[in-house]
Amino acid sequence: MMTATSRLQKLVLLRPGEGRALLWAAAYFFFLLMALYLLRPVREAFGIARGADKLPWLMTGTMVVMLLVNPLYAALVSRMQRRRFIPLVSHFFAANLLVLAALFFWLPEHGGTTLGYVFYIWLSIFNLFVVSVFWSLMADVFTEDQGKRLFGMISMGGTLGAVVGAAVTEALSSGSLGVKFEPAALMLTAVIGLELAVLCMSRLGRMFHLSEASDAGQQAREPGPDFKAGFKAIMASRYLQAICLYMLLFTVTTTFLYLFQGEIVAKTFATGAERTAAFARLDLWVNVLTLCTQLLITSRLIRTIGVAGVLLVLPILTTLGFGALALWPSFAMLAFVQVLRRGIHYAVDRPAREILYIPLGPEEKYKSKAFIDTFVFRGGDFLGVWAPAFFSALAVPVSLAALACAGGWVTVAARLGRMVRRRSPAVVSSPASAGRVEFIKEHT
């Protein structure tokens, strides 16, 4: 008779010795996204305090700050070992939250719109950096085969954290629990989540011997001293350039869909309460689809059609979705496209995209990846949010531009997939794989 453990192993494609690593990684992501989703509603409220028309300028400011922060982060990575700079990133942002909470509490009128805009830009940087560093570590300590089997379940930990964080924020902000938290209190609560994430990261790091800095194999897996190495790697690698284009087009198409959503929801629902309820329904079904897919489909889909095949799923779905919205611009069609696209992105596309970095070296994982996940991502936001004005000046329909971007994304995904197929044998002999193979032997 199949035991509960064997049923779980069959469900999540878990192999002997991988259980503890999976749980600590999922818990790390859970607390990280819980902290983030405690703060997201606060950011959104600050962002529209003086009108939604200020959002393009806030996104532009975010991109400028991101450009300044990236070299500083690369310099930090170049001077410190992984076991030090990974928790330091979370500690740094936790300290920022303490300062912001103090300013919000002590300044007249809680700092006004200025402090709100500062927080908006800060959180837009925080959320990308901490998640990028998390996935850099995952790509570093797990093998490609483990990534295909386990990254979906690790992502599920983050999804659960996002659900819990959003629910806690709603309960604490609305006063339904008998006490109503101000933003400063939510910031302090998020600090606890960040520190719990660091605790989980430390336990995971000890399992993979990240603390053994004197070991020659571990030293070979540390990023080097050149803080420009990550950017140089992107300039020299067509593979990384293809990942940049993939990320850029994903973000641009996401922004286009966000704009379509605003137009359709505004036409469909008359009051703010109705619109809020509509957005809440969308978020609910996105989370339901994401959790079900991560639990039952993600690992099997990646192993069946491969990372190259999975990379095509979201671009093709987006192209079909934009076409459907152009023909039937209704809320029902919007809901179908948004829920399916966002659910597939969180459950399938994001884990597959993180697997792309597993065969690479530490410079690419901790420097190039951070640049792509932060500056390139926000660059896509910048292009997407200003694109309607540009295309309107050229008398080009935004729906046509969105279809063209989605079609270009399909082409880039197909090219990146061909590169993945050519690179996949390298993971067996890459220096970065040595420590992970040793881990498998020790824990099997």
Mean pLDDT by 10 residues, the chain (444 residues): 57 76 94 88 67 73 87 86 87 93 83 82 90 92 88 90 82 60 82 94 83 51 79 92 95 84 75 60 79 85 91 95 88 88 91 92 91 90 77 73 91 94 52 39 34
pLDDT at 235: 93
In degrees, rounded to 5, the angle at the alpha carbon of residue 426 between the alpha carbons of residues 420 and 427 is: 90
pLDDT at 344: 92
CA distances from residue 268 to 264, 274, 339 in whole angstroms, order as listed: 6, 9, 18
Q: Which phi and psi angles does 175 have, rounded to 5°?
A: 80, 15
pLDDT at 182: 73
Helix (H, G, I), strand (E, B) or coil at 51: coil
Q: Classify residue 429 as exposed, middle or buried by CB count within 10 Å of its CB (0-12, 13-18, 19+).
A: exposed
Check: CB of residue 181 under 8 Å from CB of residue 173.
yes
pLDDT at 430: 38
